[in-house]
């Protein structure tokens, strides 16, 4: 991603002063995704680890500079910029993952994404998830989710860190496990109807789920912690380890299956978390 092309793109953004937060999220996610696709093509035969690092850095540079130009009074929380200075007292915070699924990106796969979300006054106010390889952007303005057409339930899980509880819950629900990359990709698979639910446990951060959750909830899906409690953002510690996204009609069955298959009381439905 040449410095000149990034500067030109940011200049184009800064000229659109009347843009809504939701449409800005879409443009940011789409533009960052396009830049990453170009970078991926240019380094197709390079070192995967170096490509992943480069993609994270370049996308972060673009998103942070574009937000500084377009929303200079807002704060930013990102995997690459997790500074708490002033953020915890802010009214508006953009929560972004410049490249979610860097391993998939570096391997030339398509199941990676760009996440852009806006947290405002205690809630997720706007969001977009770009799936660049499919030339798709799901946003809080995209509308309702599609109806699943398959007969057997399908559960999206991490392709590299599928939690132990996922297999037990899948057995209880008689669901097939479907490993996929990025959290955003998995959430959008539920929105599209390709998947019925997405379950993760054992480690995520706010930037992993903020945009996917914003988009999923806007599409009418259920999203919560595994115990059914709300997902809370812009916290001092951005660690947000578990997540359930599913069709509304599966909510009770999924939460019951999770509680039934959770050791001890840590994930019992209705329990509070510190």
DSSP per residue, 92-160: EEEEEEEEE-HHHHHTT-S--EEEEEEEETTEEEEEEEEEGGGTEEEETTS-SPPPP--SSEEEEEESS
Pairwise CA distance, residues 55 & 167, whole Å: 32
**How many separate domains does the chain show?**
2
> 176 and 256: one domain?
yes
> 200 and 125: one domain?
no
> 113 and 195: one domain?
no
> 17 and 121: one domain?
yes
> 70 and 159: one domain?
no
User: What pairs with residue 245 in β-bridges?
Assistant: 198, 223
> 16 and 129: one domain?
yes
Give the H/E segment covering residue 178.
strand 175-180
- CATH number, domain at 126? 3.30.540.10
Q: How far is CA 34 from the centre of its chain?
A: 17
Pairwise CA distance, residues 38 & 155, whole Å: 31
Pairwise CA distance, residues 156 & 154, whole Å: 7
Pairwise CA distance, residues 269 & 257, whole Å: 10
Domain carrying residue 48: 3-139
DSSP letter at 246? Answer: E
Q: Which two tokens stand for residue 29?
A: 């996610």
- CATH number, domain at 157? 3.40.190.80
In a structure prediction context, what are the per-residue pLDDT tens digits for the chain, which is 274 residues long? 455 566 776 666 666 667 899 999 999 999 999 999 999 998 877 798 999 999 999 999 999 999 999 999 999 999 877 666 789 999 999 999 999 999 999 999 999 999 999 999 999 999 999 999 999 999 999 988 887 778 899 999 998 878 889 999 999 999 999 999 999 999 999 999 999 999 999 889 999 999 999 999 999 999 999 999 999 999 999 999 999 999 999 999 999 999 999 875 344 333 322 2
> CA-CA distances (angstroms) from residue 142 to 3, 16, 165, 214, 252?
32, 21, 31, 11, 26
């Amino acid at each position: 991603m040449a410095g000149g092309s990034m500067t030109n793109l940011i200049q184009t953004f800064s000229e659109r002063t009347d843009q809504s937060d939701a449409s800005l999220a879409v443009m940011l996610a789409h533009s960052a995704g396009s830049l990453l696709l170009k970078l991926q093509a240019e380094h197709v035969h390079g070192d995967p680890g170096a490509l992943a690092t480069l993609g994270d850095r370049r996308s972060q540079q673009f998103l942070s500079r574009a937000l500084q130009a377009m929303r200079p009074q807002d704060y930013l929380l990102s995997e690459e910029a997790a500074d708490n200075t002033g953020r915890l007292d802010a009214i508006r915070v953009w929560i972004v993952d410049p490249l979610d699924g860097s391993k998939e990106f570096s391997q030339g796969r398509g199941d990676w994404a760009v996440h852009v979300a806006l947290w405002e006054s205690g809630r997720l106010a706007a969001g977009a998830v770009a799936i660049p390889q499919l030339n798709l952007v799901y946003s809080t303005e995209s509308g309702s989710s599609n109806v699943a057409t398959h007969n057997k339930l399908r559960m999206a899980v991490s392709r590299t860190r599928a939690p132990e509880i996922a297999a037990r819950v899948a057995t209880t629900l008689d669901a097939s496990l479907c490993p996929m990359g990025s959290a955003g990709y998995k959430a959008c698979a539920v929105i599209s109807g390709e998947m019925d639910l997405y379950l993760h446990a054992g480690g995520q951060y706010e930037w992993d789920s903020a945009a996917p959750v914003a988009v999923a909830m806007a599409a009418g899906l259920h999203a919560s912690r595994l115990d059914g409690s709300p997902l809370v953002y812009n916290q001092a510690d951005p660690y947000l380890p578990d997540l359930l996204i599913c069709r509304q009609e599966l909510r009770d069955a999924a939460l019951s299956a999770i509680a039934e298959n959770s050791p001890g009381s840590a994930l019992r439905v209705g329990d509070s978390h510190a």
